[in-house]
């Protein structure tokens, strides 16, 4: 009781919001220029005026294409109940023509409460679909075909490049008797170049591009997601405190820098949601407020470099020596090297710099094996299994900069090693 | 209002609960196809819109808006691809030639074959439909026996040989007992014997004929050979896109000296497109497009492909932009220069054209996150010369060089590979096949000039790509 409950409730509320695409994309529907309104305009004119249309949604994965489409379809189903039928296909599952026609027939049967027989042949399915399209056209009901992974439909190899499903659907758009919309979703920007010229001619070339959100949109999105509502279920002092803290964090320059570093690598809405989710999940339940540290931990957990951590946390000094020797051999343009040549280099270093860490060969071999288990190094090729491990050629699986960084942040790396690496 | 909506609903419910079964011949499945001849009334919808006008005439703004909407709707309908005009313009010559051919065959009661080719969107199927109608009218006038027509779109055939069974259904509606021979053999035997004089001519139209091309080209060949038999009664018209289909796939016909006649439908020129658009818009009592906007559209589409569907789609897109314009600025602005007659101007048409013809690549590259843009730059630099692909490891080295030279902290190898995968998904890079992750070969799918154009605004990338 006491302070725990509001914090937990707030956490649950925010996490629920982040996982619900409808909530996330709802504020975008307010502006008249957004993708939501463009899509809604096109689909709703088809529903109200009965003209057919085809449209393509393009954008990188996780930019909210399917979410916005769901929003639009949901809104239309509320506004015009009984006038909209939704048929969804996925290019990963239904790219073969037989499969696709069967699935369309099955979904049509389900929507209109008819009996579907699995034994129906391809001919019967296609006749049924044509008849249904005509009937729905006469009854002024619009069918919305959603083709997810649209480029898969265009690239199906079994149909010998003939794209029969796309042709039949888009051809149906050209006739007066049917009332339908075909919406394709794809992450490939040149999806319409993959279409055959017949199919491309029937496609109406409308494309909606889903670009990453701008700075203002991100700021408003953050506020929308993280501010608690002035609900009666939360103690009012807590709500204002929480929202005040959020405002402080988002206007902090350190937070802005952090956000900029994050967005420089990955700018889709989905990755931003994941970032915020991690930050919110590490909220301190005692204080019940978010802090800058939460976001910092989230950022570092999303930008992990596993091999660097292997070097920094796990490697002993001897192993570091071996890695530096391998790197030096690489720099000297020795394209393939094995354990024996690494040992030679190790001995040369010891001779020239009189280091204190000089170990016998069998100890070094064990260190080598350890490195290989951690997958920091590996055998260069899979042949020559019969040879002893010492004579097989090896290669590094970690880049020079990662090695450098790992060594610099290592707890007790000797300075001479860094000098040897830089050389 | 409520009564109209109520009756609409009840009619729709009854539409779906009828279970009269329409029986196509081989209906073995238990799908019940609800067929009824009830049309949910068009008049209901129209009454609705009239009601709208009546209710909204109270305020001028709303009144003009719904009038606008009706206008827009009518214009869009006039420009929809599915609305075939009653007379076909700019195809008179080809239309005449096809009609003469069919007439000639019918006059002499001889079989013949014709091949029609042309790019998509040049009016082939449309002309054929008109010819069929014209032939029907003419044969009635000339008191000839009526002509059977079979119109098949070859994409709807499961097996290519099905076309012969379809032809057989029309030639011989009553099946005889010897159904052991295949439809093709039956047809061949029928056409080799003299039939009674009451046999009718048959017009076969095979749309998208290249779907009939099989590996051994047997079906296409047999189909054309059907017209060569001495007592054949079919006039075959094949439609496809390839100009040299007859030459490439039917060499034997040339040796038998019965190559089909070829009529090519050329792509539309700018004047033809302009004329067709004007014809379509003539049915409307008001001017919807400025003439220079129409000309811009015709010019651009004719230069690109000469495809009529594209021109219609661009015009409809321009109307939609106009609609959004009007809708987005209600109130005083709609009572400005043209309150009653919104017209599509050059800027609307230019916006519609750029939406249709511009590739989204440039926009996307401009909005990519910075590291992905650096990756694209390094790929562009690497693949300038003769080298067209590299492994991920090599690309990573270049990426690190660029980052180091501009003092940006680079992303690690895992994140680098992830970013390359994202770019591959979007169709900017292309991955080859390889077992290991680092050994995958990467090549660029986008033109370097596009990349330079997209990134020219940022000095960093401009210097990078020098």
Residue B58 vs residue B275, higher pLDDT:
B275
CB atoms within 10 A of CB A327: 20
Helix (H, G, I), strand (E, B) or coil at B116: strand
- pLDDT score, position A384: 62
- Phi, psi (5° rounding) for residue A192? -80, -10
Confidence of residue B47 (pLDDT cuts 50, 70, 90): very low
Residues of chain A found within 8 Å of residue B15, distances taken between Cβ atoms: 135, 139
| Cα B229 to the center of its chain, rounded Å | 36
| CB pair distance less than 8 Å for B309 and A82 | no
C-alpha closest to that of B430 among B362, B381, B383, B398: B383
Which residue intervals of A310-397 are DSSP H helices?
Answer: 317-331, 339-353, 361-373
Q: What is the mean pLDDT of chain A?
A: 84
* Section A337-346 average pLDDT: 85
Unique residue bearing structure tokens 């409520």: B2
Q: What percent of chain A has pLDDT over 70?
A: 95
Beta strands in B161-297 (DSSP E): 202-207, 234-240, 261-265
* Section B253-266 average pLDDT: 80
DSSP assignment of B32-45, as one string? PPB---PPPPHHHH
- Strand A142-148, strand A180-186: pairing: parallel
Confidence of residue B20 (pLDDT cuts 50, 70, 90): very low
Are residues A353 and A399 in contact, defined by beta-carbon separation less than 8 angstroms? Answer: no
- The pTM for the full model equals 0.79
State pLDDT tens for residues A142-178: 999 999 999 888 886 655 557 888 888 888 888 888 8
Q: Does the interface predicted TM-score (ipTM) exceed 0.85?
A: no
Unique residue bearing structure tokens 């080598």: A368
Distance CA B177, CA B36 (A): 35
Percentages (nearest 5) of helix, strand, coil residues in chain A: 60, 10, 30
- pLDDT score, position B51: 41
Burial label for A296, CB within 10 Å (0-12, 13-18, 19+), is middle
Query: Which positions 249-278 of A are in contact with B (Cβ < 8 Å)?
Result: 263-267
- pLDDT score, position B17: 37
Q: Give A270's contacts (C-beta < 8 A, 6+ positions apart).
A: A61, A62, A63, A64
* Section A298-308 average pLDDT: 81
Confidence of residue B64 (pLDDT cuts 50, 70, 90): low
- CB proximity B146 to A under 8 Å: no
- pLDDT score, position B8: 39
Helix (H, G, I), strand (E, B) or coil at B150: strand
Q: What percent of chain A has pLDDT over 90?
A: 10
Sheet holding B234-240, edge to edge: B148-153, B202-207, B234-240, B112-118, B261-265
Q: What is the mean pLDDT of chain B?
A: 77
Is residue B50 over pLDDT 50?
A: no
Distance CA B279, CA B84 (A): 11
- CB proximity B270 to A under 8 Å: no
Least confident of B38-52, B208-222, B433-447: B38-52
C-alpha closest to that of A227 among A274, A295, A289, A297: A289
Unique residue bearing structure tokens 């040369």: A348
- CB proximity B426 to A under 8 Å: yes
- pLDDT score, position B180: 67
CB atoms within 10 A of CB A52: 23
Are residues A264 and B371 in contact, defined by beta-carbon separation less than 8 angstroms? Answer: yes
Burial label for A232, CB within 10 Å (0-12, 13-18, 19+), is exposed
Least confident of A199-213, A234-248, B76-90, B134-148: B76-90
| CB pair distance less than 8 Å for A117 and B317 | no
Distance CA B361, CA B427 (A): 9
Q: Which DSSP symbol is given to A118?
A: T
- pLDDT score, position B340: 60
Token readout for B173 is: 């509606």
Are residues A93 and A99 in contact, defined by beta-carbon separation less than 8 angstroms? Answer: yes
Distance CA A94, CA A101 (A): 9
Cα–Cα distances (Å) from A402 to A307, A408, B420, in that order, read: 8, 10, 19
Distance CA B217, CA B227 (A): 17
C-alpha closest to that of B308 among B334, B270, B260, B282: B270
- pLDDT score, position B330: 57
Is residue B271 over pLDDT 60?
A: yes
Beta strands in B220-363 (DSSP E): 234-240, 261-265
| CB pair distance less than 8 Å for B313 and A204 | yes
Confidence of residue A197 (pLDDT cuts 50, 70, 90): confident
| CB pair distance less than 8 Å for B77 and A51 | yes
CA angle A92, A94, A97 (to 5 degrees): 135
* Section B311-318 average pLDDT: 90
Token readout for B358 is: 């511009």
Token readout for B123 is: 């009016």
| CB pair distance less than 8 Å for B158 and A188 | no
Distance CA B274, CA A382 (A): 67
State pLDDT tens for residues A246-259: 888 888 899 998 88
CA distance B231 to chain A (A): 32
Residues of chain A found within 8 Å of residue B367, distances taken between Cβ atoms: 211-212, 267
State pLDDT tens for residues A362-388: 888 888 888 888 888 888 776 666 667
Distance CA B442, CA B387 (A): 11
Distance CA A179, CA A46 (A): 8
- pLDDT score, position B177: 60
Token readout for B24 is: 């196509």
| CB pair distance less than 8 Å for A114 and B45 | no
Residues of chain B found within 8 Å of residue A39, distances taken between Cβ atoms: none
Least confident of A77-86, A264-273, B210-219: B210-219
Which residue intervals of B124-217 are DSSP H helices?
Answer: 124-141, 162-171, 183-192
């Amino acid at each position: 009781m006491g302070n725990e409950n509001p914090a937990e409730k707030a956490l649950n509320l925010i996490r629920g919001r982040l996982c619900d695409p409808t909530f996330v994309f709802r504020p975008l529907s307010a502006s008249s220029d957004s993708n939501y309104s463009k899509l809604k305009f096109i689909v709703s004119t088809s529903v109200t005026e009965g003209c057919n249309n085809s449209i393509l949604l393009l954008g990188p994965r996780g930019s909210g294409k399917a979410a916005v489409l769901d929003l639009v379809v949901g809104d239309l189903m509320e506004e015009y109940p009984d006038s909209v039928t939704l048929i969804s296909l996925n290019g990963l599952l239904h790219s073969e023509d037989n499969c696709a026609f069967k699935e369309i027939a099955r979904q049509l049967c389900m929507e209109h409460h008819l009996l579907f027989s699995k034994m129906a042949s391809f001919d019967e399915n296609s006749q049924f679909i044509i008849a249904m399209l005509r009937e729905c056209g006469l009854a002024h009901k619009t069918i919305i075909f959603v083709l997810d992974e649209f480029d898969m439909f265009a690239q199906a190899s079994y149909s010998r490049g003939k794209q029969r499903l796309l042709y039949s659907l888009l051809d149906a758009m050209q006739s007066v008797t049917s009332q339908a919309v075909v919406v394709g979703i794809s992450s490939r920007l040149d999806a319409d170049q993959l279409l055959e010229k017949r199919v491309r001619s029937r496609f109406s070339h409308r494309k909606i591009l889903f670009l990453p959100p701008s700075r203002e949109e991100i700021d408003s999105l953050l506020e929308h997601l993280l501010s608690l509502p002035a609900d009666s279920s939360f103690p009012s002092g807590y709500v204002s405190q929480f929202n005040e803290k959020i405002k402080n964090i988002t206007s902090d320059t350190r937070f802005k820098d952090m956000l900029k570093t994050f967005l420089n690598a990955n700018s889709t809405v989905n990755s931003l949601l994941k970032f915020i989710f991690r930050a919110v999940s590490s909220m301190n339940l005692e204080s019940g407020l978010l802090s800058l540290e939460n976001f910092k931990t989230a950022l570092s957990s999303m930008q992990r470099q596993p091999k660097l951590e292997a070097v920094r946390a796990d490697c002993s000094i001897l192993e570091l020596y071996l890695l530096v020797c391998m790197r030096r051999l690489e720099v000297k343009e020795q394209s393939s090297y094995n354990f024996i040549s690494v040992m030679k280099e190790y001995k040369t270093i010891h001779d020239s710099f009189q280091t204190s860490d000089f170990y016998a060969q069998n100890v070094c071999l064990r260190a080598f094996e350890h490195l290989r288990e951690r997958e920091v190094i590996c055998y260069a090729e899979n042949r020559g299994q019969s040879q002893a491990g010492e004579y097989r050629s090896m290669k590094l699986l970690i880049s020079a900069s990662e090695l450098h960084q790992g060594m610099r942040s290592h707890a007790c790396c000797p300075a001479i090693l860094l000098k040897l690496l830089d050389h | 209002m409520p009564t109209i909506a109520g009756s609409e609903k009840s009619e729709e419910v009854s539409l779906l609960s009828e279970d009269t079964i329409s029986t196509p011949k081989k209906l073995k499945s238990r799908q019940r196809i609800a067929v009824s001849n009830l049309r949910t009334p068009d008049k209901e919808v129209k009454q609705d819109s009239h009601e709208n006008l009546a209710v909204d005439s109270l305020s001028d703004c709303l009144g003009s808006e719904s009038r606008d909407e009706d206008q827009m709707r009518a214009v869009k309908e006039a420009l929809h691809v599915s609305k075939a005009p009653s007379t076909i313009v700019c195809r008179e010559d080809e239309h005449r030639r096809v009609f003469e051919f069919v007439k000639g065959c019918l006059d002499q009661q001889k079989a013949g074959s014709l091949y029609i080719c042309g790019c998509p969107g040049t009016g082939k199927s449309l002309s054929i439909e008109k010819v069929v109608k014209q032939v029907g009218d003419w044969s009635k006038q000339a008191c000839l026996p009526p002509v059977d027509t079979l119109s098949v779109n070859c994409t709807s055939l499961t097996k290519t040989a099905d076309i012969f069974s379809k032809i057989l259904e029309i030639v011989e509606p009553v099946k005889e007992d010897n159904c052991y021979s295949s439809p093709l053999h039956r047809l061949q035997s029928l056409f080799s014997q003299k039939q009674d004089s009451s046999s009718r001519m048959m017009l076969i139209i095979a749309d998208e004929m290249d779907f009939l091309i099989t590996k051994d080209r047997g079906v296409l060949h047999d189909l054309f050979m059907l017209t060569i038999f001495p007592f054949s009664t079919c006039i075959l018209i094949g439609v496809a896109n390839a100009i040299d289909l007859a030459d490439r796939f039917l060499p034997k016909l040339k040796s038998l000296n019965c190559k089909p006649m070829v009529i090519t439908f050329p792509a539309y020129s700018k004047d033809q497109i302009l004329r067709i658009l004007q014809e379509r818009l003539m049915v409307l009592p008001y001017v919807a497009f400025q003439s220079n906007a129409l000309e811009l559209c015709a010019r651009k589409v004719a230069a690109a492909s000469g495809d009529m569907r594209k021109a219609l789609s661009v015009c409809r897109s321009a109307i939609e932009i106009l609609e959004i314009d009007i809708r987005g600025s209600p109130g005083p602005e709609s009572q400005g220069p043209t309150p009653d007659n919104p017209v599509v101007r050059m800027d609307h048409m230019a916006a519609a054209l750029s939406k249709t013809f511009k590739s989204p690549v440039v926009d996307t590259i401009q909005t990519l996150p910075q590291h992905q843009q650096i990756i694209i730059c390094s790929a562009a630099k690497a693949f300038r010369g003769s080298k067209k692909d590299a492994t991920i490891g090599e690309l990573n080295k270049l990426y690190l060089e660029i980052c180091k030279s501009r003092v940006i902290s680079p992303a690690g190898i895992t994140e680098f590979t992830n970013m390359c995968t994202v770019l591959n998904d979007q169709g900017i890079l292309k991955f080859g096949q390889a077992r290991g992750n680092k050994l995958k070969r990467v090549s660029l799918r986008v033109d370097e000039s596009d990349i330079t154009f997209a990134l020219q605004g940022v000095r960093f990338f401009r210097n990078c790509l020098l």
